Amino acid sequence: MMRRREAIGAAGTALLTLSAGRASAASLGDWLDSADMVGRFLAAGIPAKSYAMGSSSMMPTLGEKDVILADLRMAGALPGRGDIIVFRPPGPDTVYCKRVIGLPGDRVALKGGRLVLNGKIVERQPQGQTELALSYRSMPVSIYEEVLGGARPYRIAEISDTQPFDEVPERVVPADAVFVLGDNRDNSLDSRSPDFGPVPVGNIIGRAVYRLRPNSGWLVPQKSVPGLD
């Protein structure tokens, strides 16, 4: 789940505030970069909204409390494979952020923790290990670079290949819907769950394009954001 921070674009004003307390040089740099990026979206008249990540379900790409900027021009439109989208299921007051894996008509399954798309195992390469901080302890997780056809490579995290959602029967993505997964595969509520399922395209709010803080930077190639010079 996520927390909405501020709306920007032609219809609104960006609200960026610094909390009380000391800021490190790195965090101050993030604030300055964030203000500059918000200004660029405002100047271009691009509708956008910022959200704070409420969980680690998109780790290692996005951590809990990371703040992202979503391009709202994607609202209600079919995204591309590999896009990170902000959307609303299952309840209207809940906002989620996940990665698009399957498009309408795609066949998606998981076998032994491996993603299977249209009958083919999606390639992944090991990238080492890291620690996942939980509320009560830290847990080692393996990092992989996954290569989804038609998308840029991205990284995922897995505790093991024997977790509950590592075995998912093949499903066909319905028309006007997308199949989404969290990059933190063993700690994500997503389309694998019967209570969640594929996301209707009409529930899509926007595409996550930029991390405002910490470690500000593009989540997509800048050239893929039309209208932003």
Q: Is 98 a catalytic residue?
A: yes
Q: What are phi and psi of 202, to 5 degrees?
A: -65, -15
Residue 8 lies in a domain: no
pLDDT in tens, 21-53: 333 344 656 667 778 888 899 899 999 999 999
Annotated catalytic residue: which of 34, 50, 55, 98? 98
Segment 141-160 mean pLDDT: 92
Cα–Cα dist 54/57, whole Å? 9
Task: Tell me what pLDDT residue 1 has.
Answer: 58
**Mean pLDDT value of segment 146-153:** 90
Does residue 119 sit within a domain?
A: yes
Confidence band for 139, pLDDT divided at 50, 70 and 90: confident
Domain of residue 177, residue span: 30-212
Tell me if 9 is assigned to some domain: no
Q: 227 in a domain, yes or no? A: no
Q: Does residue 25 lie in a domain region?
A: no
Q: What distance, in Å, lies between the first and last C-alpha atoms of the chain? A: 31
**Residue reference for tokens 């399954």:** 109
Specify if 3 maps to a domain: no
For the residues 158-163, what does the mean pLDDT come to?
85
Give the pLDDT confidence score for residue 57 in this predicted structure.
93
127 domain residue, yes or no:
yes
The answer, as to whether pTM is greater than 0.75, is: yes
Q: Which of 34, 56, 57, 142 is catalytic?
A: 57
Nearest CA among 127, 130, 161 for reference residue 147? 127
- Residue 48, domain CATH: 2.10.109.10
Active site residue 57: yes
Share of residues in the chain with pLDDT > 90 (%): 62
What is the per-residue pLDDT for 17?
25
Q: Number of folded domains in the chain?
A: 1
61-92 pLDDT, tens digit each: 999 889 999 999 999 999 999 999 999 977 66
Residue 37, pLDDT score: 87
* Residue 22 belongs to some domain of the structure: no
